[in-house]
């Protein structure tokens, strides 16, 4: 039996009369407006009480609501116009008030975009450059668990910390994992689902688990893979819809789509 008085029974192929339809439409609109109002009220911006607690939260920056977890935000430093998607986990140290957590454990540059459900856990140093874009469900950490004591639960064995950096202009694809010690250069593409550890040079495309370079930029040549296939340099290819649609750039676009 349907106990919800405002359920739209049209979904089940049941006709509703005009009065019922009007009531359902009003209820739908009220819920949608209320939901948007709650989202707007819960966003973290520089002028909110939570925003003022950050080490720095630059002008124009916004953290979407709801947030999954924000821990030790006074040690986070965000630049201007940073956008963080909903359900984000941003955590410093091993718990609230961790006295050993560095003052600048997480630093995010200007105009960065951190996708929905992102998880960043910083214990020593995670630095994200300007204009870095993340897909959804990305995980970034500078520490992991140890396992050397066979009698002690793994969750109680803390491994070494290794700083992480992601260079300006890079793109981190959906579901990627950036592990301790990763040093990612500028304008790097990390393919969706990749696991990155170690150094990645500037202007490279990496993919896989573990991530390996599948294409890199050669000045005066283009974007070459290890088999000699070269994608041409097309300035402004991603600057607008018309550029994306031109025949000259179709092969570049197709080569890039699986990485997002």
Q: What is the pLDDT of residue 234?
A: 79
Residue 203, pLDDT above cutoff 90: yes
At 75 the pLDDT is: 97
Catalytic (active site) residue 145 = yes
The 3-state DSSP class for residue 248 equals helix
How many residues are given for the chain?
A: 260
Is residue 40 a contact partner of residue 19, using CB atoms and an 8 Å limit? no
Does the pLDDT of residue 58 top 60, yes or no?
yes
Q: Look at 225 and 69; give whichever has higher pLDDT.
A: 69
Between residues 45 and 254, the one the model is more confident about: 45
- Predicted confidence at residue 133, as pLDDT, reads 97
- pLDDT over 90, % of the chain: 68
pLDDT value of position 14: 60
Q: Answer whether 0.75 is exceeded by the pTM.
A: yes
pLDDT per residue as tens digits for the range 135-186: 999 999 999 888 889 999 998 888 889 999 999 999 999 999 999 999 999 9
Q: Is the pLDDT of residue 207 over 60?
A: yes
**DSSP per-residue string spanning 34-76:** HHHHHHHHH-B-TTSHHHHHSSEE-TT-EE-SS-SEEESGGGE
pLDDT attached to residue 259: 45
Question: What pLDDT shows up at residue 155?
Answer: 86
What's residue 15's pLDDT? 66
The better pLDDT of the pair 70, 239 is held by 70
How many Cβ atoms sit within 10 Å of the Cβ of residue 219?
7
Q: Which residues contact 61 (CB under 8 A, 6 or more apart)?
A: 45, 46, 51, 78, 79, 80, 81, 82, 83, 84
> For the segment 250-260, what is each residue's pLDDT rounded down to a tens digit?
333 333 334 44
pLDDT of residue 40: 94
The mean of the pLDDT values for the chain is 87
Catalytic one among 11, 145, 174, 227?
145
What is residue 23's predicted lDDT score, i.e. its pLDDT?
86
Which of these ranges, 6-20, 51-65, 101-115, has the smallest mean pLDDT?
A: 6-20
Whether residue 245 has pLDDT greater than 80 = no
Among candidate residues 190, 187, 189, the one with its CA nearest the CA of residue 210: 190
CA angle 28, 34, 2 (to 5 degrees): 40
Q: What is the pLDDT of residue 5?
A: 55
């Amino acid at each position: 039996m349907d106990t919800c008085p405002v359920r739209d029974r049209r979904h089940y192929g049941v006709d509703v009369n005009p009065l019922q339809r009007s009531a359902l439409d009003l209820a739908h609109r009220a819920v949608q407006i209320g939901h948007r109002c709650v989202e707007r009220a819960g966003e973290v911006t520089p002028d909110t009480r939570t925003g003022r607690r950050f080490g720095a939260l630059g002008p124009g920056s916004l953290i979407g609501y709801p947030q999954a977890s924000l821990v030790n935000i006074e040690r986070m430093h965000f630049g201007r116009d940073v956008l963080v998607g909903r359900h984000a986990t941003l955590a410093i140290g091993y718990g609230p008030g961790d006295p050993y957590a560095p003052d600048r454990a997480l630093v995010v540059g200007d105009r960065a975009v951190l996708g929905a459900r992102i998880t960043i856990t910083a214990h020593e140093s995670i630095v994200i450059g300007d204009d870095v874009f993340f897909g959804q469900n990305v995980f970034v950490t500078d520490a992991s668990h140890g396992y050397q004591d066979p009698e002690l639960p793994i969750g109680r064995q803390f491994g070494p910390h290794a700083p992480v950096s992601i260079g300006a202009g890079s793109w981190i694809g959906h579901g990627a994992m950036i592990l301790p010690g990763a040093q990612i250069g500028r304008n790097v593409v990390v393919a969706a689902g990749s696991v990155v550890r170690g150094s990645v040079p500037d202007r490279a495309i990496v993919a896989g688990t573990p991530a390996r370079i599948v294409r890199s930029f050669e000045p005066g040549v283009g974007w070459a893979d290890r088999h000699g296939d070269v994608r041409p340099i097309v300035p402004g290819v991603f600057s607008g819809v018309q550029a994306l649609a031109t025949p000259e750039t179709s092969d570049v676009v197709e080569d890039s789509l699986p990485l997002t």
